[in-house]
């Protein structure tokens, strides 16, 4: 799955209605109460026999098993498993309901009188439940665990039998399970029926064994209106139209997990391509938008072909469909043979889409199609191993896009992912890559920068250590060995170790089973480089973690590099071992030592003063690679936040980048600069204006060089850089940039086709226009809302929403936030509005969040609530506020956003500590003035 947006779908309160009878076929309905205990009381639960009187030697009779024994378990029991699902579903797109029937071939492998499986938000016809023609004696639903327990009078026969039942449910509006998405067709709003089952939501569409390890074959039949397009994982086997119903049967799928089953029903059109191997690929869109699928289709065709060769295994299914869904929680979802996307992640329009959107589409398509092998063909055994899916798909997507578009320098941009992983993993409230999952409610929260970004980064580190060719051959062997089955992290290590001869398990276990990462402290003592590792934490403390660290080192040039494993807490190197000439350069102007060459390792480095000064000199002399330029500033930023280095030294380092022109480097300089500007508001309010002017001085030259207008035949990377710099300058308050943005916006409002404001620079102009908006002068705000309402493009709508809260008038901020309770903003897009908040509007946002919490909880899913918390709480930077937040949420905690809350509070406290460190720096103001005076 492409990484989840803050608008990720998550749960409502769960409820299952059991329609039943008194033993005959009568019409009484038995409703199980929402809680498991009440449900158990309401069903016919067999009680334990009372113990006999206390007198020896009579033994106590055995306890009679009851449905309650299955409560509170992390996983379903293994005594019965599905082999094949025969499903029939009939969605009603007007009433937004569906009916269904399931016939599941179940293999009973151990003595039991129970069948235990998952169900949620369904009404099951109790009278219809049969296993081997036997009616269950007990039917008990445990709401908290989302399990349905069937108890029979006697032990079930070993071997296979068919479990059948009928059920119905609602096409919900929560973007999970079987849900409805709205779209416009010929001026009228229509409903589309869509599934989103990852991680644990197939159970909201049909009763099932909803865990990755319970792979089975699926035979689906859909009953839909004749005019509708109905898609599923497999091609259509046959279809019959009978009056108002079209019955479509699909070919039986190979073995797959429930979370990969998919259905889409709606009015759609498509474009089509074919891979060199003959696999048909289609991109489905709303009617009138199929032309926008051409770029994604091209990337899809190339991806399937590349992955077939890389994994040494053909694409497993006979077709692949990619569908743009108007309402979609994640970026995209890798359903086997039927990949679903947000529109903004699949559709590219030459006239209205930005260059960054084009790159995002390429990465997302390549990510999802990598899953067809790494995730779908070979599936994680349990959610603890989610990173096997997401980390590898993230890494593979960069490998693929680098092959298709080498001019994009995508591996340099990969450091954005590494930075995101490092940032989250420097918190005490992080988690290991292999995280224990004890309940379904915990799964959604690990779709984060640890599973995706740290996962991908340690894979890149391992590939760099083993070598690209050995690594590729071992991966292909792993795919072949575990095809159509499940694997654990240890299974991958075993294959890689066998094929490479390297101690992969010992090395990688230190990175996947413990959270965090090390900072390598490097000191020069004579002719020796002394290295010492310690766990890096943003709160300034050092954890107890210890890693086997693949160290790479260069001295004076990149021609020769030293590679070795740091296995203990410390080690030392004769610097002559790094490069033959290095020992003679210690006193020379060309001397420098860089660890973690090209940032292939997932760790930070802190250099002593001598080494740090030499690196800064090498930086200014343009002797360092682009990746190492990024690594140096990111490490310095993190060390400053942890109060291990001063903000003064960070500002001096940032100033050394003032002549930088590379997109990737400047995008990181931009992020660090905005972080410094934000913290300075609280840390040094009297100096904040000068600090912003210094940051403008650093970012302005490359922006002036690029200008507002795209140039003929300019590079993709220059097109990406222009909006990054313009947006930063507007946010930092650069008057000339703001005025030019306002001018161009005024022209755009009256002529939407003007060449003065192409898609790439619109956000900067929108932000500039919002600087002058007030309650009494809201012309630009009204104009932006008009652009939003009139646009049919998801990207343009997102662009507008992300600027509406960037305003000095708190009444306008409130008005913008309250849009989230209207039908104007799709649930998935709420986080765009929150993105526009800044330090100036934080108090308004916090008061709004407290006063609106009940409305938010009612309209949005539990995990989406975590997004609201993250975006608003982390705007603050005081321990007092952290306590206030803790008090408010103390009675409002939910498992689905517990981790997000804890991480947000920790970030607030980290900022508070950073502020105290900054205030104690004696030379900060002097340094700022000195750098401002420099020509």
Helix or strand run (H / E) with residue 70: none
Residue from 301, 341, 298, 299 nearest 319 by CA: 301
Q: Is the dihedral of CA 386, 390, 395, 399 positive or negative?
A: positive
- 367 assigned to a ligand binding site: yes
- 390 assigned to a ligand binding site: yes
| Known catalytic residue at 368 | yes
- Annotated catalytic residue: which of 368, 634, 660, 793? 368
**CA–CA separation, 889 and 903 (whole Å):** 13
Q: Give 587's strand partners.
A: none
**CA–CA separation, 247 and 265 (whole Å):** 12
Mapped onto helix, strand or coil, the DSSP state of residue 912 is helix
Residue 82 backbone dihedrals phi, psi, to 5 degrees: -75, 145
User: For residues 234 and 217, is the Cβ–Cβ distance under 8 A?
Assistant: no
Pairing of β 97-108 and β 80-92: antiparallel
Q: How many beta carbons lie within 10 A of that of residue 299, not counting itself?
A: 24
Q: Kindly state the tokens that stand for 131.
A: 């296993």
Strand stretches in 225-350, DSSP E: 229-232, 236-242, 245-250, 263-266, 268-274, 280-286, 319-325, 332-333, 338-342
- 734 assigned to a ligand binding site: no
Helix or strand run (H / E) with residue 728: helix 716-731
Determine the Cα angle at 642 with ends 668 and 894, to 5°: 90
**CA–CA separation, 550 and 466 (whole Å):** 10
Chain centroid to CA 814: 28
Whose tokens are 């091609």? That residue is 235
Whose tokens are 């095809």? That residue is 483
Q: Give 555's strand partners.
A: 593
Whose tokens are 């991806």? That residue is 303
CA distances from 116 to 210, 382, 414, 439, 670 (A): 11, 18, 44, 16, 53
The set of residues, in sequence order, having a beta carbon less than 8 Å from that of 525 and lying 6+ positions away, is 572
**CA–CA separation, 667 and 676 (whole Å):** 14
Return the half-sphere exposure (C-beta side, CA atoms, 13 A cut-off) of residue 909: 19
Mapped onto helix, strand or coil, the DSSP state of residue 617 is helix
Q: How many beta carbons lie within 10 A of that of residue 530, not counting itself?
A: 15
Residue from 670, 687, 771, 801 nearest 729 by CA: 670
**CA–CA separation, 262 and 202 (whole Å):** 9
Q: How many beta carbons lie within 10 A of that of residue 709, not counting itself?
A: 13
ω before 81 within 30° of 0 (cis)? Answer: no
User: For residues 277 and 315, is the Cβ–Cβ distance under 8 A?
Assistant: yes
User: For residues 341 and 364, is the Cβ–Cβ distance under 8 A?
Assistant: yes
Residue from 759, 843, 683, 888 nearest 352 by CA: 759
CA distances from 613 to 416, 518, 589, 655 (A): 25, 22, 11, 14
CA distances from 610 to 105, 416, 523, 596, 615 (A): 70, 28, 8, 18, 9
Annotated binding site for Zn(2+): 367, 371, 390
Q: What positions carry a catalytic annotation?
A: 368
């Amino acid at each position: 799955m492409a990484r989840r947006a803050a608008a990720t779908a998550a749960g409502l309160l769960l409820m299952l209605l059991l329609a039943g009878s008194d033993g005959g076929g009568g019409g009484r309905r038995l409703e199980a109460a929402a809680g498991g205990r009440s449900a158990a009381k309401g069903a016919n639960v067999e009680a334990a026999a009372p113990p006999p009187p206390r007198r020896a030697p009579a033994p106590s009779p055995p306890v009679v098993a009851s449905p309650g024994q299955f409560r509170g378990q992390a996983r379903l029991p293994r005594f019965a498993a599905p082999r094949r699902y025969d499903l029939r579903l009939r969605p009603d797109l007007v009433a937004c309901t569906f009916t269904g029937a399931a016939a599941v071939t179940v293999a009973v492998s151990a003595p039991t009188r129970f069948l235990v499986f998952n169900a949620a938000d369904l009404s099951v016809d109790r009278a219809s439940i049969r296993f081997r023609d036997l009616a269950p004696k007990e039917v008990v639903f445990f709401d908290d665990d989302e399990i349905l327990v069937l108890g029979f009078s006697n032990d079930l026969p070993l071997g296979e039998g068919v479990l059948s039942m009928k059920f119905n449910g609602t096409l919900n509006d929560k973007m999970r399970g079987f849900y409805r998405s709205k779209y416009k067709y010929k001026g009228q709003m229509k409903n589309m029926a869509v599934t989103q089952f990852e991680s644990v939501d197939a159970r909201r569409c049909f009763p099932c064994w909803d865990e990755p390890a319970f792979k089975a074959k699926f035979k689906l039949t859909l009953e839909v209106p004749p005019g509708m397009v109905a898609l599923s994982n497999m091609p259509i086997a046959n279809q019959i139209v009978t009056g108002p119903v079209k019955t479509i049967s699909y070919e039986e799928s190979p073995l797959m997990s429930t979370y990969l089953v998919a259905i889409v029903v709606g009015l759609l059109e498509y474009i089509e391509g074919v891979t060199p191997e003959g696999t048909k690929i289609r991109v489905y869109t709303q009617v009138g938008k199929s032309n926008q699928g051409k770029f994604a289709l091209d990337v899809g065709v190339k991806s399937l072909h590349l992955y077939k060769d890389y994994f040494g295994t053909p694409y497993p299914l006979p077709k692949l469909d990619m569908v743009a869904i108007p309402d979609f929680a994640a970026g995209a979802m890798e359903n086997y043979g039927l990949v679903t996307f947000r529109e903004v992640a699949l559709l590219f329009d030459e006239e209205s889409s930005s260059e960054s959107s084009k790159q995002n589409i390429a990465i997302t398509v390549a990510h999802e199609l990598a899953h067809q092998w790494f995730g779908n063909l070979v599936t994680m055994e349990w959610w603890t191993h989610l990173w096997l899916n997401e980390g590898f798909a993230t890494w593979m997507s960069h490998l693929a896009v680098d092959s298709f578009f080498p001019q994009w320098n995508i591996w340099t941009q990969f450091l954005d992912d590494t930075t995101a992983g490092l940032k989250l993993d420097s918190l005490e409230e992080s988690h290991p890559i292999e995280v224990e999952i004890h309940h379904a409610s915990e799964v959604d929260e690990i779709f984060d920068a640890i599973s995706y970004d740290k996962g991908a980064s340690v894979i890149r580190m391992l590939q760099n250590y083993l070598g690209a060719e050995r690594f590729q051959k071992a991966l292909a062997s792993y795919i072949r060995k575990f095809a159509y089955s499940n694997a654990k992290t240890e299974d991958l290590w075993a294959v890689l170790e066998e094929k490479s001869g390297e101690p992969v398990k010992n090395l990688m276990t230190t990175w996947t089973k413990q959270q965090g990462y090390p900072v390598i402290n490097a000191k020069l003592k004579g002719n020796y480089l002394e290295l010492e590792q310690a766990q890096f934490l943003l709160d300034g403390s050092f954890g107890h973690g210890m890693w086997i660290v693949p160290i790479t080192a260069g001295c004076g040039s990149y021609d020769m590099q030293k590679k070795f494993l740091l296995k203990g807490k410390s080690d030392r190197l004769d610097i002559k071992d790094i490069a033959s000439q290095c020992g003679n350069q210690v006193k020379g102007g060309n001397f420098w030592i860089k660890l973690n060459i090209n940032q292939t390792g997932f760790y930070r480095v802190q250099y002593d003063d001598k080494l740090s000064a030499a690196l800064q000199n090498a930086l200014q002399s343009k002797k360092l690679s682009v990746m190492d330029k990024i690594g140096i500033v990111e490490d310095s930023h993190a060390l400053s936040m942890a109060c291990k280095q001063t903000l003064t030294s960070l500002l001096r380092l940032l100033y050394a980048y003032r002549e930088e022109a590379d997109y990737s480097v400047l995008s990181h300089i931009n992020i660090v600069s905005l972080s410094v500007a934000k913290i300075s508001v609280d840390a040094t309010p009297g100096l904040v204006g000068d600090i912003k002017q210094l940051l403008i001085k650093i970012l302005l030259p490359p922006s002036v060089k690029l200008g507002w207008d795209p140039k003929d035949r300019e590079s993709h990377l220059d097109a990406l850089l222009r909006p990054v710099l313009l947006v930063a300058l507007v946010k930092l308050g650069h008057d000339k940039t703001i005025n030019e943005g306002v001018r161009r916006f005024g022209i755009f409002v009256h002529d939407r086709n003007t060449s003065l404001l192409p898609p790439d620079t619109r956000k900067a102009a929108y932000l500039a226009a919002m600087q002058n908006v007030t309650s009494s002068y809201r012309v630009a705000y009204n104009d932006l809302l008009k652009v939003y309402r009139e646009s049919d493009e998801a990207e343009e709508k997102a662009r507008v929403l992300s600027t509406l809260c960037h305003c000095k008038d708190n009444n306008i901020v409130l008005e913008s936030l309250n849009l989230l309770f209207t039908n104007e903003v799709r649930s998935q897009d709420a986080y765009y509005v929150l993105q526009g908040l800044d330090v100036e509007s934080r108090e308004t946002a916090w008061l709004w969040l407290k006063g609106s919490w009940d409305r938010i909880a009612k309209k949005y899913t539990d995990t989406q609530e975590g997004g609201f918390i993250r975006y608003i709480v982390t705007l603050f930077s005081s321990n007092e506020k952290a306590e206030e937040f803790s008090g408010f949420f103390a009675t409002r905690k939910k498992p689905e956003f517990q981790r997000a809350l804890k991480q947000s509070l920790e970030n607030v406290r980290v900022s508070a500590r950073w502020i105290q460190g900054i205030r104690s720096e004696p030379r900060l103001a002097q340094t700022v003035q000195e750098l401002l005076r420099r020509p």
